Amino acid sequence: MGERTQAGKACDYFRYVFSTILSFLSMGIIVYAIAKGFAALPGHPILHYILLVGDLVLLAYLEGLQVAILALEKVRTSTFSDQKRAAASHKLAVAQRGLNVQRFLVGRQFFVVFVVFLCAQLTTYREMKIDFMPKAMFVVLIETGLPGALIVLAFGQLMPQLVAATHPITFMNLPGTWSVIQLCLCFETVGVTHFSWVLSYTMKFIFRMGAKEKVKRKRQDLEMTKKGANCDKKKDNEGTIDNGFNMNVSIGDADALYAQAEDGLSLATDMDVHSPETLRWLQSDSIRSLAVAYGYEEGNASKLPEPATIVRQLINNKMPVPRYLLPPFHHEHIPPHLVAYELIRREEARKNRNYAQQTRT
């Protein structure tokens, strides 16, 4: 995108100033109305001030933690282990193989609704009178709770979300994040909100959604992405002089990498196993030509079985064939190194769970 025009910048500055003035006016109205005892919730003004500030702080933690946890859900805790509070909060949030993320979201939603309703009781002033303001304007601006909505939106929701979107680790490292996550998890454990689980399971069953949806990019999209990357690389090479080797590695789609690692452990279909290309690959002549093409030495070929030999053995014994054993040129082939990566990740997760269980006992 090009640079902003002067008119666009001026429009942005006007909106910043207008929003700031409106927010400060709302704060003034709220402070004045609570001091005069106009709040719908009965109680002393000092108690109302404490409740309002506490609600906004709790809401800010709930909103910011949602963004931070979802942003760091697939990130290893060891990446930021030097930040103790963030590491402890992250480990708690993603425990039980990610189930705690869903449990946190359920408990968090209750407290968000509860806090917003409580703030509405503190920022709605039906008995307040402003003589110079028309009745219709008073209803729209005061009785509807608009000042409270602006304050809650700015301080309790948007600000923490915007901060957590760019600095999720820093936000999770704030004091009290572990306690807020634990509060949401404990409330979910009580079971008050468990009807939401029943309702979600019912909807999935009715619409036949399955336990979990697999998000995979189409093969045509992947090919177009590769072609686009190759074209960009060719353009870059045309305009520059290569003085050395390019050691940079660019991963265009990390989600696709995780999806392929999971798919590597799946089994190939009978159609893929008995496809003409696979059958030709299983022939001895094709095996020898493939070994020569990949630089295998005949002396080493006798020590370890080739993939084709294993596939033939599995087929003869009527056993399923993993996708990583399909020929490399097959469209359903998953590279073995992705499978190895997935197995290593699962083994580390298993060790972490065992260690957590031992420390608890």
Q: Contact 108/184 with Cβ under 8 angstroms?
A: yes
Is pLDDT at 22 greater than 50 in this prediction? yes
- Contact between 261 and 336 under an 8 Å Cβ cutoff? The reply is no
298 confidence band (pLDDT: 50, 70, 90): very low
Residue 88's pLDDT band (cuts 50, 70, 90) = very high
pLDDT at 55 over 80: yes
User: Rounded to 5, what percent of the chain is helix, strand, coil?
Assistant: 70, 0, 30
Q: What is the largest CA-CA distance in the chain?
A: 99
What is the spatial distance between Cα 31 and Cα 177, in angstroms, rounded to a whole number? Answer: 28
Mean pLDDT of 121-139: 80
Q: Return the closest-CA partner of residue 48 out of 128, 148, 141.
A: 148
Say what the alpha-carbon torsion angle 236, 237, 239, 241 is, to the nearest 10 degrees.
Answer: 130
Predicted TM-score of the model (pTM): 0.58
- Residues 27 and 96: their CA atoms lie apart, in Å, by 42
What whole-number distance in Å separates Cα of residue 229 and Cα of residue 238?
Answer: 14
pLDDT value, residue 18: 93
pLDDT (tens digit per residue) in 320-330: 777 777 777 77
The most confident of the ranges 157-171, 249-263, 317-331 is 157-171
Residue 283, Cα to own-chain centre: how many angstroms? 46
pLDDT at position 255 is 47
* 26-51 per-position pLDDT tens digit: 999 999 999 998 888 889 999 999 99
Residue 325 structure tokens: 């054993």
Average pLDDT of the chain, as a whole number: 77
Contacts of 118 (CB under 8 A, 6+ apart): 41, 51, 55
At residue 9, the pLDDT reads 87
Label residue 225 by pLDDT band (50, 70, 90).
low
CA distances from 179 to 13, 61, 202, 295 (A): 39, 10, 32, 58
The tens digit of pLDDT for each residue in 58-70 reads 999 999 999 999 9
Under 8 Å between Cβ of 124 and 33:
no
Question: Could you state, in order of their start, the residue ranges of all structural domains in the chain?
Answer: 6-206, 255-360
Q: Shortest CA distance to 117 belongs to which of 147, 157, 145, 150? A: 145
Residue type, 246: N
> Residues 185, 149: contact at Cβ < 8 Å?
no
Tokens at residue 209, please? 């959604």
**Which tens digit of pLDDT belongs to each residue from 320-358?**
777 777 777 777 777 887 778 778 888 888 888 787 777
Q: What is the Cα–Cα distance from 35 to 29, expressed in whole angstroms?
A: 10
Q: What is the pLDDT of residue 242?
A: 42
Query: Is residue 213's pLDDT more than 90?
Result: no
pLDDT-based confidence at residue 200 (cuts at 50, 70, 90) = confident
The number of CA neighbours under 13 Å toward the Cβ of 219 is: 4
